[in-house]
Chains A and B, each alone.
Chain A
């Protein structure tokens, strides 16, 4: 009998928790605490505790599938790869788009963007971060020079004032919630900005700024004007480390807590109280996510938070910062690897200079120099799409039109681990290995690079994503540029052309529980827990204030659609449910879709918890079970997007933030029918 405890990192969220997988004669039979891991110290959330179970699901994809006359038939790798290569050959750059995975390794993300750029000649390579933190990059690049999380997760418990904006951390980042709880027990003040009274509000929050959905800029401007009125801005920090303060002050003179109260519905006194607590703190820490970013004003929302942090000097020290929380295990990493229409690997801006750099690094010519299409444009404007490990039919806004667009493609390749709602529209489906079925690295939320080792074989004939892409490249005549024998070889190439990763090696990662946080410029560099300690990432190294004005959401309630729809998440499920709905312990906790409805609205509709209702927006209709709760305010409905039988994104608005092309998942107009 062979028993092994093998350490790995959870495949679910951005925290990056350690765990042991217990293997008996080569099969994973359990999960045990890895007590040395600094992020979670031997504790895990419900998803982590059950994380390995989906691996052995019966309906894992085991063989390539080719669509013929409306149904799929199994095919050999040879046939499927040849077909893909044949269909991709000669597709003009403007007609091709690639969509990478938020759960793929860095090595896999890197290979896919290289494929798109070298072989297909396009910068139309994107991934799910368009839907979560494109607004953060647009808001943080001009203000602080980098769109990543600034503090280490481990330092959050040192903060004495934590501002949680648009994120329900108790359900979506449980280990970060643990750190906030520790801070709170040491006396920290926790302020939560959320239109709902979530469990984060109830059990972590001291002060709840329960704003009307989509009024974040007004609220934050109100907070800043209160800080200025009290003279609590950090004058020394502003003087030495920022630019543009006068313009901000001038812009804010047109705002006030009272004005913010009118727009947001949060009492002026509360806005002042929150602002003053944050300003007066020793270490103020802003944590934000989709509730801030997923708006047509997402980038403005983020810029406003950045202004708030710069105004008070709560940035550049451990346990401070304006911190975007990328929720996927490789939400950070896939972006680092350049799966973005305007960035080559390492955040080199798409353009002549970057093209030349990578032409040199990759030994190729004529790399594309113009920005590619963004995610929704890829879906609607490309003729051929190669999509890896992501599920836009469930996760992109306006699902009905997404499906229509996918069905209109000339050719659609999906590489995934299950036949997802999106894969069902493909012409070719390629079975992928995932998580501990292959080796590779990810970068978790706080730029924490950790390694996943191969622990079991993938099912059937499934292969790692990087291998599949390389085989296609080979069939298209590019063997010499995609000649990797292992993930390790790909990582060596990444290290050579992505300076932030240069000092990270597989050996170093194997030896360090908790991994290494980039930037890590050399092999003796310990990594960088805190960003901006001495300088910002802007050209002049200063933080730049950017005054932003409140604009309402693209679609607000009206006579036809009188309520607000908010979409989001539940602790027991993850995103489109691909993994969690196949895990009995998790699915039995929350087996069906639900819509949170306020008791007053429920009374008006004469329904109670358990009633079936129909929700309709201008995009479509879904049926769902009502859950009557005071957690959601009167006039708002909350629907999680995990359930394909009641797909929330059939309802959502594809209107985009012009600065970041981020869809407005968090606000649209809805009506209920009973």
Chain B
């Protein structure tokens, strides 16, 4: 049932060995393929075993799933975009997708916009407290941990520390806050992310609540997820145990702490923008040395953004809205981008990752989203039946005097 929780692990010793935390997710993905509940699995793989180079992979052979086991913290491929753009939104492909909370939220927002067929998608949610940019991570490994980045066998974020384990088994840790004060550590949007457990997926899997066991804590988040887990358990594809009350509480406590930290980062980062006077803001964004003045119209932000889905984009040269061939583009380029997506920003940070001139796009647009959220009581990516407020006109709104709907 929705809400059920488990400690889960793989019955296959080889998978337990290969994976982290008991290999439950690996076994579940295999099961999904073997039982023909899905045609393929969309997961993230370290290309050639490189922990700094994560690519989406589409797997239809259950034997290939194990190669994607283990959390990669130094990569952030755009899973929602892959599903929407390159897999036809799962229109005729049944696919299980491993997803962090932001990936899952992005997919749900795209479902609302008819870009992804939710019927065909099984969302295997993965807890996440943040990922790092690969180039920054490599520099951090060298400068702060004093190791060759390619000697790192795994990384983890736990108890406010960034912990690494090297190939020789030795471990090192550094204080996360200290690293992030220096501009190292997690991607900025990740620091501000207050949703670490993907309850918007079909199941949410993670280490919190596993209490040091070689097991994954699984929370069932939907009826579909319940059905999937029940079948997996019945068929012996994963072994499960009931988590203790302490485990549940510990998980809640860790989640609260991470959320609290995220809210502090939000306050700090958004506070910087909000502290500026109107004049300062105009200058900061639109002035001659403003952020947008550096833009070279690469459309990287638009391409990466899961909320930007229009095939015939308003910003392109042939639409005649933004004057063609100008750099920096007219301010309307960024204004339109912001207005079109801000009610639904899922804080994936892909826009900021894609910007060649390092405009703090994610910080801006998620800040705007946080201001809209309480006004419209709308949390992006959580409930597939909640309509994006700036896209929809409600009955109530239509009945207000002075409101007209023109088509």
Contact = CB atoms under 8 A, between A and B. Distances in A.
Interface in B336-364: 353-358
B356 A43 contact: yes
Given A571-B327, A572-B325, A589-B324, A3 B87 contact: yes
Interface in B271-303: 288-289, 293-294, 296-300, 303
Contacts of A203: 289, 293-294, 328
Contact of A588 (B57, B77, B317, B353): B317
Given A22-B86, A40-B356, A43-B298, A49 B303 contact: yes
Given A588-B317, A589-B324, A7 B294 contact: no
A44 B298 contact: yes
Contacts of B57: 3, 5
B133 interface: yes
A35 to B, nearest CB: 5
A40 B354 CA distance: 10
B52 interface: yes
Interface in B308-349: 316-318, 324-325, 327-328
B266 interface: no
Interface in A628-650: none
B55 A20 contact: yes
B269 interface: no
A589 B297 contact: yes
A513 interface: yes
The CB with the most chain B CB atoms within 10 A, among A22, A42, A199, is that of A42
By secondary structure, the A interface counts as mixed
B317 A42 contact: no
Interface stretch (A171-179, A309-317, A335-343, A348-356): A171-179
A175 B356 contact: yes
Contacts of B354: 33, 42-43
Interface size on A, as a range, is 35 or more
Nearest to B150: A511
B299 A49 contact: yes
Nearest to B52: A36
A663 to B, nearest CB: 28
A571 B318 CA distance: 18
The CB with the most chain A CB atoms within 10 A, among B40, B87, B354, is that of B354
Given A30-B85, A33-B304, A181 B288 contact: no
Nearest to A42: B353
Nearest to B136: A41
A5 B325 CA distance: 30
A572 B316 CA distance: 13
Given A44-B298, A202-B288, A5 B353 contact: no
B86 A585 contact: no
B78 A1 contact: no
B357 to A, nearest CB: 6
Nearest to A5: B55
Interface in B16-70: 40, 47-48, 50, 52-53, 55-58
A513 B138 CA distance: 12
Contacts of B356: 40, 43-45, 174-175, 178
B243 interface: no
Contacts of A48: 298
Contact of B327 (A5, A22, A178, A199): A199
Interface in B237-288: 288
B93 interface: yes
Nearest to A20: B55
A22 B85 CA distance: 10
A48 B358 CA distance: 17
A273 interface: no
A171 B356 CA distance: 12
Contacts of B47: 5, 7
Contacts of B305: none
A197 to B, nearest CB: 12
A32 interface: yes
Given A42-B354, A181-B357, A203-B328, A588 B318 contact: yes
Interface in A1-27: 1-3, 5, 7, 20, 22, 24
A466 to B, nearest CB: 27
Nearest to A38: B135
B318 A30 contact: no
A170 interface: yes
A640 to B, nearest CB: 11
Contacts of A570: 325
Contact of B78 (A24, A32, A43, A511): A32
B324 A590 contact: yes
Contacts of A5: 47, 55-57, 77
A533 interface: no
A29 interface: yes
A3 B86 contact: yes
A658 interface: no
B389 interface: no
B353 A35 contact: yes
Interface in B111-169: 133-135, 138
Interface of A: 1-3, 5, 7, 20, 22, 24, 29-30, 32-38, 40-46, 48-49, 170-171, 174-175, 177-178, 181-182, 199, 202-203, 510-511, 513, 570-572, 585, 588-591
23 contacts: A2-B58, A3-B58, A7-B53, A20-B55, A22-B86, A24-B86, A32-B78, A32-B81, A35-B76, A35-B133, A36-B138, A41-B134, A41-B135, A42-B133, A43-B300, A49-B299, A171-B296, A181-B357, A199-B328, A570-B325, A585-B317, A588-B316, A588-B317
> 8 tightest A-B contacts by CB?
A43-B356, A5-B55, A588-B317, A36-B134, A3-B58, A590-B325, A589-B325, A589-B317
Given A42-B354, A48-B298, A585-B316, 9 more contacts: A1-B58, A3-B56, A22-B82, A36-B135, A44-B356, A178-B357, A181-B294, A182-B358, A203-B294
